[in-house]
Amino acid sequence: MSAAPLHVLLISLHTSPLEQPGSGDAGGMNVYVRHLAESLVDAGHTVEMATLDRSPDAPRTSGVRAARIRDGLRLLTVSVPGAAGASKEELPLFTHAFADALRVEALRPDVVHAHYWLSGAAGRELADDWGVPLVLTLHTTALGKNLRARRGEGIEPAARAEAEAGLLARADATVVNTRTEALQMVELYDADPRRLTVVAPGVDLSAFSPDPEPGERPLEPYRGPGERPLRVLFAGRLQALKGPHVLVDALALLRAEDPGLHVELDVVGVGTRGFTAMLRERVRRLGLDDVVSFGPALPAPQLAVRMRHADVVAVPSSSETFGLVALEAQACGTPVLATDVDGLRTAVLDGATGHLVPDREPSSWAGALACLARRPRDLDRLGAAAAYRAQNHSWECTALATADVYADVRAGAGVRDSSRHCVPTLES
């Protein structure tokens, strides 16, 4: 823990940390901010989380509603004129008004920690006005996403990349998830490596565990083709970037090439109406209704049950700065198949806790699934190693390392690699 208790303002402008991951714009960042806040409070600090209210019924006037989550933790929900019902693409128009509202209502913090570039734009104003350090965590970047973007995934605008470059130059410290992400910041944005620090994300070990809940029926072990189907789980937002369509196409290839190899896919999460309709129509057109099921985004305890009831969790994303769902699956003792890209190379230990698939071609994913289906003993080995590895990576560890970053920038001492708190680190 840092030398003295701090008051921290965590900004998550475009999505509330309390939103259900896997729905709307909510995902791993929501999990990150909420658990970081909780763990900082557990360590003796006080925290305010701030988010923009853009629900259709949001107040049409400027204001801040404060909700006490627990002792030492509040959620500040900011309303500004015109933000009700605003799309994510429109949010740059509201960062200044958001900062203005917080400037009046929020307690002056010891440090501002902005999550995502939109939060950074508001956080920069506040940190400058209050004369406190600005810590930045981007989670994703425009140039990083564009580097990996495939057809149908869209290109991030130049204005976002320019804003991110300015924020990286201004922030007293930027926290990244992996050394790979740090290198990307230097190569793509010319970021100062002396102001980058690696802090590995954590996992909620109270929710994600290999141990069944009371009354939960354990998964019947998979013993290979001829027994029950191999159960594959996809959990996340339904969008091209996350790649659920890659899995659907892979299952179609498997059925055509090896009808005796049975694989089922459980898709958990929601997305835009258009992409979801396309995905469901794809399943129907390929004749996979009997092996592909859809369900809503789930709270952590229920998602953990679903992960324990899967033989493998699949993460076919085109880009991830980390991929928290991969670590959550491992904490449940479930192996992971993930694209061999960016932070997923750190989240999954290839050949030890899962396998990295070289690309997003359906044929590659069909081959990887077939290999696991034919080698059931590998599932047991990978799952045991996955559960063991995840036990060393808690949100407490992440919060302690992040609090050290806060203390460093407040002391004007620069930053250091605070991932030393996580032993072994995710990249060891």
Dist CA 281 CA 103 (whole Å)? 48
Where is mean pLDDT largest: 10-14, 297-301, 416-420? 10-14
Predicted pLDDT at 422: 39
* Amino acid, res. 212: P
Domains of the chain: 7-202+394-421 (3.40.50.2000), 230-390 (3.40.50.2000)
Q: CB of 63 within 8 A of CB of 81?
A: no
Dist CA 220 CA 235 (whole Å)? 21
Dist CA 156 CA 143 (whole Å)? 8
Q: What is the mean pLDDT of residues 18-42?
A: 84
Both tokens assigned to 347: 């989240």
Write the pLDDT tens digit of every residue in 200-244: 999 999 999 999 888 888 778 888 888 799 999 999 989 998 999
Predicted pLDDT at 19: 84
Which of helix, strand or coil describes residue 68? strand
Dist CA 203 CA 205 (whole Å)? 6
User: Taking the C-alpha atoms of 68, 302, 138 and 397 in order, what is their torsion angle to the nearest 10 degrees?
Assistant: 80
Query: How would residue 419 be classed by pLDDT, with cut points 50, 70 and 90?
Result: very low
Residue 296, C-beta contacts closer than 8 angstroms, at least 6 positions apart: 22, 23, 268, 269, 270
Predicted pLDDT at 148: 77
Dist CA 104 CA 45 (whole Å)? 22
As a whole number of angstroms, the longest Cα–Cα distance in the chain is 67
Whole-model pTM? 0.86
Q: What is the mean pLDDT of residues 304-308?
A: 96
The total number of residues written for the chain in this structure: 428
Reference 329, options 269, 270, 387, 246; nearest CA is 387
Query: How would residue 412 be classed by pLDDT, with cut points 50, 70 and 90?
Result: confident
Residue that wins the pLDDT comparison between 117 and 217:
117
Both tokens assigned to 134: 């600005």
Residue 424: asked if its preceding bond is cis (omega within 30°), the reply is: yes
Residue that wins the pLDDT comparison between 180 and 121:
121
